[in-house]
Amino acid sequence: MTSGISVLVTGGAGFIGSHACKALKSAGYVPVTFDNLSTGHARSVKFGPLVQGDVRDADAVVAALRDHDVRAIIHFAASAYVGESMRNPGLYYDNNLGGMIGLLKGAKTAGVDKIVFSSSCATYGIPAQLPISEDCAQDPINPYGRTKLICEMVLRDHAAAHGLRFAALRYFNAAGADLDGIGHLP
Ligand SMILES: NC(=O)c1ccc[n+]([C@@H]2O[C@H](COP(=O)([O-])OP(=O)(O)OC[C@H]3O[C@@H](n4cnc5c(N)ncnc54)[C@H](O)[C@@H]3O)[C@@H](O)[C@H]2O)c1
């Protein structure tokens, strides 16, 4: 029974997050978008409430989780451009790793123990075999991929220490538009 269960979608105002909110809503969940609107758009948030906040701010995460009685988190909020990460790695370590730390602190305080993490195929780097299987060695070749791999390690450590349950999705480039007018917006 999914009816009315709230799921926090960090980065829910972005390209992939807004599509995840649409899918959650049609599956009977309440998608609660948590987004600082740095690259996302408030007008993409059509399927549940928008909480404007930054995942690096653990107190703001706690408030959103409690206010909306959230049971699980899908974590999309991140900086997500390989080229930019090579020019400005500090931004990527701060936002992606700092975001994961803030989110996990908030989740632990609020007692939310289920997280789906939007990782990336970039954690594999140049694969030793094709097609790439899930158990291929992860050896990223840019700061963006390294932040995602480190976030996976952080999750694994928190799972071992605190009983957190998580999945990391290492998907490839997403593309496409949606008739609801969400996704890549000018
Ligand atoms: N686009 C792809 O093909 C692809 C492939 C694999 C993985 N991913 C991952 O999926 C996620 C979403 O990617 P996207 O293409 O939708 O990017 P996007 O830029 O459209 O979405 C990211 C969202 O996160 C928000 N955000 C960023 N930093 C934040 C912070 N500190 N606090 C709160 N909100 C913050 C942005 O405002 C934006 O709405 C990212 O984690 C990305 O690494 C993307």
CATH number, domain at 121? 3.40.50.720
Quick check: is 142 in a domain?
yes
pLDDT for 1 beyond 60: no
pLDDT score, position 12: 98
Quick check: is 174 in a domain?
no
Q: Token digits for 80?
A: 């997500």
Quick check: is 1 in a domain?
no
Chain centroid to CA 132: 22
pLDDT for 73 beyond 80: yes
Tell me the C-alpha distance between 83 and 26, whole Å: 35
pLDDT score, position 179: 85
Q: What residues does 72 pair with on adjacent strands?
A: 7
Beta-sheet pairing, 30-35 with 6-10: parallel
**Residue that has been written with the tokens 């990460």 in this structure:** 85
Tens of pLDDT along 142-173? 999 999 999 999 999 999 999 999 999 999 99
pLDDT score, position 184: 72
pLDDT for 36 beyond 80: yes
Q: How many domains does the chain have?
A: 1
Quick check: is 78 in a domain?
yes
Tell me the C-alpha distance between 94 and 147, whole Å: 9
Quick check: is 177 in a domain?
no
Determine whether 47 is exposed, middle or buried from the number of CB atoms within 10 Å of its CB (0-12, 13-18, 19+): buried
- Parent domain of 70: 6-169
Average pLDDT of the chain, as a whole number: 95
Quick check: is 106 in a domain?
yes
pLDDT score, position 186: 66
Quick check: is 144 in a domain?
yes
Which residue owns the Cα nearest ligand 1 atom 15?
15
pTM of the model: 0.97
User: Which of 32, 35, 103 has the most ligand 1 atoms within 8 A of CB, as the residue to mutate?
Assistant: 35
Residue 176 CA: distances (Å) to CA of 16, 53, 76, 181, 184:
10, 27, 17, 11, 8
